[in-house]
Amino acid sequence: MNNKLNESIHCPLCRNSSIKPAFGKFNYSFLECQSCSSLFVYPIPSSSELEAFYTSPDVQKLSQVCWNETAESHRHVWGVWQEALNLIEKLAGKGVLLDVGCGTGQFLQFARRKGWQRLEGIELVPEIAERARSLSDAKIYTSTLLKADLPSHYYSGIVLWDIVEHLNDVESILQEVYRLLKPGGILLIGTVNRHGLSLRYLGVNALTVNPPEHILFFSARGMKSILELTGFRVYKLSSFSIYLLEWITILSEILPKQKKEKSPAKVNKASLTDSSVFLIIMKIANAILSLTNFGDELVAIAQKPEN
C-alpha cells in the first residue's frame, strides 16, 4: 500500500490513519489499524451491497439453520446476559429492552424468563422476525435500526449481540443507540474478538473471517475508542468463550479420515450447550480467558451518562 493511499484511510473505530494490509479472503482485502489493532474490510461494502448479500437465496437458506435456536442454545452466555440485566435494572430501572438484530429472539426469551415484560426487537428478515415474535412474545420490528423510527431517550437497555461485526457504519449505529437510550441506560455488545484465540492463531483461515458477512473485527482498544467517541462511558470490557466450530474443524483435518464420523457443519451446538460437562469446562475456560483477553467473544458494557 503506498503512502498516499495509507493517509486517505482511517480506522472506523479509533480514526487513526496508520493502517497496514492484513490479508485477503474471498476477493476482499482486510486492513489492520496500527493504533488499536482492529481489522476491517476495505473498501467497505455499501449498504446496498450488504442488503443484496443478506437477501440473496443462498444466504437466506443458510440463515434457516438458526431458526430453531432458542435461549437454550446460548446457555454458555447466560452469565453475561444476566450480568447485563442486573446492571440495567440497577442503573436504569426495569424498563424497556431493545435487542437489535434479535434473530429468533434468544436474548429476549432469556430476559422474559427473568421477569422482564417490556421487550422489543429489530430483525431485518421477515421470516426470522416472525419466529422471534412467536418464541419471545416481544414486539418485533421488521426493519433496520436506522429505519425503525424509534423514540428518543426511551430504552433502559439495548443489546447488540453478534451484530457489530456485520456493520459498514458502526459509528452511525452507536449514535442512534445513544439517542434511543434514556440517560443512565445500558448498552450490551457481544462481537468477535480480534485478539481471541481463533483469530490470533488461525488468522485468515478462521471460519469467522467470512466477508462480506463479517467485515469488522474489534480489539478491546478499538471498542473502547468508538464507544467513547459516540458519547458512552465504558463500564466493562471482557472476553470469554471459544468458537468450538473453529477448533472442531481443525481437529477434523488432523484426525485420520476413518475417524471422522461427522462433518463440522453437522455438529449440534444445542446438544453441546445442554451438556453439564461442557458447561463446567466452559466456566473454567471463561475464567482463564477473561484474564488473558484470549476469549473469542469480546463483550462491552457501556452506559449513556446521566447528564
Nearest to 160 by CA among 173, 172, 175, 149: 173
Question: Among residues 9, 78, 50, 65, which one has the least CA distance to residue 215?
Answer: 50
Q: Within the chain, where are the H helices? A: 3-8, 47-54, 57-63, 78-92, 106-113, 126-136, 170-180, 197-202, 220-229, 244-254, 269-273, 276-292
Give the pLDDT band of residue 51 (cuts 50, 70, 90): confident
Residue 33 grid cell: 489499524
Nearest-angstrom CA–CA distance, 175 and 145: 11
Does residue 157 lie in a domain region?
yes
Q: Give the cell for residue 290.
A: 477473561
Angle at 39 (CA atoms; ends 158, 251), nearest 5 degrees: 95
DSSP state of 165: G
Tens-place pLDDT, residues 16-49: 999 999 999 999 999 999 999 999 999 999 988 9
CATH number at residue 229: 3.40.50.150
DSSP 8-state symbol, 162: S
What Å distances lie between residue 237 and 28, 111, 250, 296, CA to CA? 29, 21, 29, 13
Structural domain contains residue 21: no
Has residue 31 been placed in a domain? no
Quick one: pLDDT at residue 264? 44
Q: What is the pTM of this model?
A: 0.86
183's grid cell:
440517560
For 95, the 3-state DSSP assignment is coil
Whether 15 is covered by a domain: the verdict is no
For residue 33, tell me if it sits in a domain.
Answer: no
For residue 202, give every residue at least 6 positions away whose Cβ sits within 8 Å of its Cβ, in sequence order, or none: 246, 250
C-alpha cell at 67: 431458526
Which residue segment(s) compose the domain that 185 sits in? 68-191+223-303
pLDDT above 90 as % of the chain:
64
Domains: count for the chain? 1
Q: Determine, yes or no, domain membership for 35.
A: no
pLDDT digits 0-9 by tens, 283-297: 676 667 667 778 999
Give 214-231 pLDDT, tens digit per residue: 999 999 999 999 999 999
Give the single-character DSSP code of 193: B
- Whether 121 maps to a domain, the answer reads yes
With CA atoms as reference, report the closest residue to 173 among 241, 244, 260, 98.
98
Sheet arrangement for strand 119-122 = 139-141, 119-122, 97-100, 155-161, 181-192, 297-303, 233-240
pLDDT for residue 3: 43
In a domain, 140, yes or no: yes
